Amino acid sequence: MTSSSPRIWFITGISRGLGRALAEEVRAQGDHVVGTTRDGTSDLGAGVHAVPLDLSRSESPATAVRAAHAVHGRLDVVVNNAGYGLLGPIEETRDAEATHLFEVNFFGALRVLQAALPLLRAQGAGHVVNISSIAALAPMAGSGVYAASKAALSALSESLALELVGSGVRVTSVEPGAFRTDFLSPHSLRRTEARLAHYEATSGEAVRALEKLIGQQGGDPRAAARALIQAVRAPEPPLHLVLGADAVGRTRAKLERLGADVSRWEEVSRATGFPRAD
Ligand SMILES: NC(=O)c1ccc[n+]([C@@H]2O[C@H](COP(=O)([O-])OP(=O)(O)OC[C@H]3O[C@@H](n4cnc5c(N)ncnc54)[C@H](OP(=O)(O)O)[C@@H]3O)[C@@H](O)[C@H]2O)c1
């Protein structure tokens, strides 16, 4: 590939939301898309090829990556976008609910990476983009298990970036705030089945605030797509791309709280080593 030839983007979940907006914007900017939908079809038109993927089926990611690679004989940008949210207090989350969420949001993405990385390393170039969430950096009440699934993905991205030093393959973890997609709608979002009155004031309140946000989210998916493409094209792409004014605010507040805890407890923290021999 020369620097002027179109890049091939592999994007999971192009049926709707951020994935669809990204596929449209990538096409508008002249690159090609091989995207995934559950049934392997897409109405996005010329320059967008679809392959089937269901992240809850463990063999599906490897098959999808192989099929996607075969379309143009290479993949330049691999975007782990598909995922969903789960609302409800941690205590009332059933094992099956948490397991399915991690299967899709974390293990599915991991399997995509494990299938794609040999191809990117063989090319000596490529970019992995994992769509995480601001919940990974600054979790709120009411979505703890979702936050944990995305925190796992953000941590994986950081470690992967270190492992890939010298390979020509870059890694970016994207942490969006609230963007106006189906994400919060009943079509996408799941709710824990159990209900405990004890958590009404904390988790319940947070969930009600999210419900009020449906259709009012400040983030524009097309603008997110343009920002992501800009980051991928940058000479020095970011390891973390926090998207949305809300996400920037929550990240800064989190960094302050973390810094304050480290400072306040620094003496105690440092005093936990073995006594020095000298
Ligand atoms: N929108 C936000 O406010 C926001 C904020 C932070 C992070 N995110 C993250 O951004 C990503 C995209 O979300 P979105 O806002 O675009 O939500 P969305 O509108 O609900 O779209 C979700 C996409 O993921 C696909 N998907 C879900 N489960 C899947 C599975 N088991 N196998 C294959 N594909 C699956 C969906 O396909 P179907 O159409 O077939 O269901 C759809 O294409 C997610 O990872 C989400 O966690 C979103």
Tell me how far the alpha carbon of residue 128 lies from the centroid of ligand 1, in angstroms.
17
Residue 189 CA, closest ligand 1 atom number: 20
pLDDT of 3 over the 70 cut:
no
What is the per-residue pLDDT for 7? 97
- Which residues in 127-161 are b (16+ Cβ under 10 Å) and which e? bbbbbbbbbbbbbbbbbbbbbbbbbbbbebbeebb
Give tens-digit pLDDT for 59-78: 999 999 999 999 999 999 99
Residue 3 lies in a domain: no
| pLDDT recorded at residue 19 | 98
Residue 1: is its pLDDT beyond 70?
no
Determine whether the shortest distance from the Cβ of 82 to ligand 1 is under 6 A. yes
pLDDT at 2: 60
Residue nearest to atom 11 of ligand 1 (CA): 81
Any atom of ligand 1 within 6 Å of the Cβ of 84: yes
Q: Is residue 13 part of a domain?
A: yes
Active site residue 212: no
Domains contained in the chain, number: 1
Q: What is the CATH number of the domain that holds 35?
A: 3.40.50.720
Report residue 106 as tokens.
């974390």
199 part of the active site: no
Arithmetic mean of pLDDT over the chain: 96
Q: Distance between CA 13 and CA 19 in Å, rounded?
A: 5
278: pLDDT strictly greater than 90: no
On whether the CB atoms of residues 85 and 146 are closer than 8 A, the answer is yes
Task: Give the model's confidence band at 55: pLDDT under 50 very low, under 70 low, under 90 confident, else very high.
Answer: very high
Index of the ligand 1 atom closest to the CA of residue 18: 16
pLDDT single digits (tens) 78-94? 999 999 999 999 999 99
Structure tokens at 121: 């390393």
Q: Does some domain include residue 27?
A: yes
Residue of minimum CA distance from atom 36 in ligand 1: 13
Residue 142: phi and psi, rounded to 5, are 90, -10
Nearest atom, ligand 1, residue 185 CA? 20
Does residue 1 fall inside a structural domain? Answer: no
- Which residue range is the domain that position 249 belongs to? 8-269
**Considering the domain boundaries, does residue 33 fall inside one?**
yes
Atom of ligand 1 nearest to the CA of 188: 20
Task: Say how many Å lie between the CA of residue 104 and the centre of ligand 1.
Answer: 10
Specify if 274 maps to a domain: no
**Residue 150 catalytic?**
yes
* Inter-residue contact 174 to 213 (CB < 8 Å): no
- Identify whether the C-beta of residue 125 lies closer than 8 Å to the C-beta of residue 232: no
Q: Does residue 18 have its Cβ closer than 6 Å to ligand 1?
A: yes
In a domain? residue 275: no
